[in-house]
């Protein structure tokens, strides 16, 4: 039975347009590493695509190499062990820390990692569960969209022009924004997530506005 937070999420995003049941061995593997609330959602809901592929809940195993690449040499490496629990149609990766819960986002198209210092702190199990409920309940469709140079959302237009995404695909720009490309519909392509995000990371280290925080204090909780 869905709780109020997930019911509110579904009221905005609709029922999933793609679903895969989560195997019992995956639940067992992540028990104790990811919040129990998230695992409960996995059991009840599966790994899904919502709003015709705007947002996807995912198997963290499929993204472990990408997390290693994007967090390499960043302060986050010293703070927690992070895993991708969701991603957007435009390759944003939503991270959950084993100690901190839902706490950081990799904005791959913009070559940036975003987080608030307070969210990176270690939390107890109840607070980690709460971070998961908050992620879904506070989500809005526009949060996962991407805008063009005029500030107009791109997802619906990309869907019409390029077709729906498969679970391993995203919409990305060619040329990439970090290489001087323009965020225009004409430059969007349907791309495989893993190789494209790996290529984007090779353009340079992502910006991290939280990089001057006291890492030692975060590690100490």
pLDDT in tens, 122-136: 999 999 999 999 999
Per-residue pLDDT tens for 165-215?
999 999 999 999 999 999 999 999 999 999 999 999 999 999 986 555 555
**How far is the first Cα of the chain from the last one, in angstroms, to the nearest whole number?**
34
Higher pLDDT, 77 or 122: 122
User: 216 or 48, which is more confident?
Assistant: 48
Report percent pLDDT > 90 for the chain: 87
Under DSSP, is residue 192 helix (H, G, I), strand (E, B) or coil?
strand
Residue with tokens 């619906």: 156
Q: What is the mean pLDDT of the chain?
A: 94
The structure tokens listed for 72 are 């390499």
| pTM value > 0.75 | yes
More confident residue, 116 or 155: 155
**pLDDT tens digits for 201-210?**
999 999 986 5
For residue 14, pLDDT beyond 70:
yes
- Mind giving me the DSSP string for 123-189? --HHHHHHHHHHHHHT--HHHH--B-TTS-B-HHHHHHHH-PPPTTEEEEESS-GGGT----GGGEE
Return the SS3 of 189: strand
Complete DSSP assignment for 49-117:
EEGGGTEEE--GGGGHHHHHHHHTTSTHHHH--EEEEEEETT-EEEEEETTTEEEEEEEGGGTEEEE-H
Name which residue leads in pLDDT, 62 or 75. 62
CA distance 18 to 215: 39
Place of tokens 């001087």: 180
Mean predicted confidence (pLDDT) in 18-27: 98
Task: Quote the pLDDT of residue 75.
Answer: 85
Helix (H, G, I), strand (E, B) or coil at 29: helix
108 pLDDT above the threshold of 70: yes
């Amino acid at each position: 039975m869905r709780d109020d937070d997930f019911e509110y999420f579904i009221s905005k995003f609709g029922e999933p347009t793609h679903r895969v049941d989560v195997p019992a061995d995956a639940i067992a593997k992540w028990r104790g590493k990811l919040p129990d609330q998230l695992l409960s959602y996995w059991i009840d809901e599966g790994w899904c695509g919502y709003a015709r592929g705007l947002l996807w809940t995912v198997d963290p195993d499929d993204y472990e190499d990408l997390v290693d690449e994007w967090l390499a040499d960043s302060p986050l490496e010293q703070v927690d062990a992070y895993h991708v629990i969701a991603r957007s149609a435009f390759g944003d990766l939503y991270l959950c820390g084993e100690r901190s819960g839902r706490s950081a986002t990799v904005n791959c198209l913009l070559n940036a990692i975003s987080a608030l210092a307070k969210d990176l702190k270690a939390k107890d199990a109840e607070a980690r569960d709460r971070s998961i409920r908050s992620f879904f309940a506070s989500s809005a469709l526009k949060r996962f969209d991407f805008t063009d140079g005029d500030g107009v959302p791109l997802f619906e237009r990309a869907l019409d022009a390029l077709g729906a995404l498969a679970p391993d695909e995203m919409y990305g720009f060619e040329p990439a924004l970090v290489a001087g490309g323009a965020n225009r519909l004409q430059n969007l392509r349907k791309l495989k997530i893993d190789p494209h995000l790996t290529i984007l990371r090779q353009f340079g280290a992502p910006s991290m506005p939280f990089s001057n925080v006291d890492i030692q204090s975060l590690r100490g909780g």
